Amino acid sequence: MAQLIIPTPLRKFTDGQGIFTQEATSVKELLHALASQHPGLKPHLFEDSGSLRSFIRVYVGDEDIHALDGEDTALQPNDEVSIIPAIAGGA
């Protein structure tokens, strides 16, 4: 099962859940499974057009999916997928 790591700013939409585990063959399938389980998350992951929003990056392992096959990137059973949001705090 692929494991998806949810960053702190988005955990308010997942009842505080930080890790989402799901059988999925692609990044897209995994992200949509997450969004259908937590509908409040959807507008923070996807534009109305369905593309990923520009203030988050999605990684498989340490590689950006943009450098792989984008959302169609295939997942192996033990892949770790990370959603990385822009954060700005520092004061």
* Residues found near other proteins in the complex (CB under 8 A): 7-9, 18, 44, 53-55, 57, 59, 62-64, 66-67, 82, 84-91
> Shortest approach of other proteins to residue 42 CB, angstroms?
13
**Cα 62–chain centre separation:** 14
**Placement of tokens 């259908």 in the chain:** 36
> Shortest approach of other proteins to residue 91 CB, angstroms?
3
> Phi and psi for 15 in degrees, rounded to 5?
55, 35
Whichever of 39 and 89 has its CB closer to other proteins, that residue is: 89
Whichever of 19 and 23 has its CB closer to other proteins, that residue is: 19
Classified as helix, coil or strand, 42 is: helix
Whichever of 50 and 89 has its CB closer to other proteins, that residue is: 89
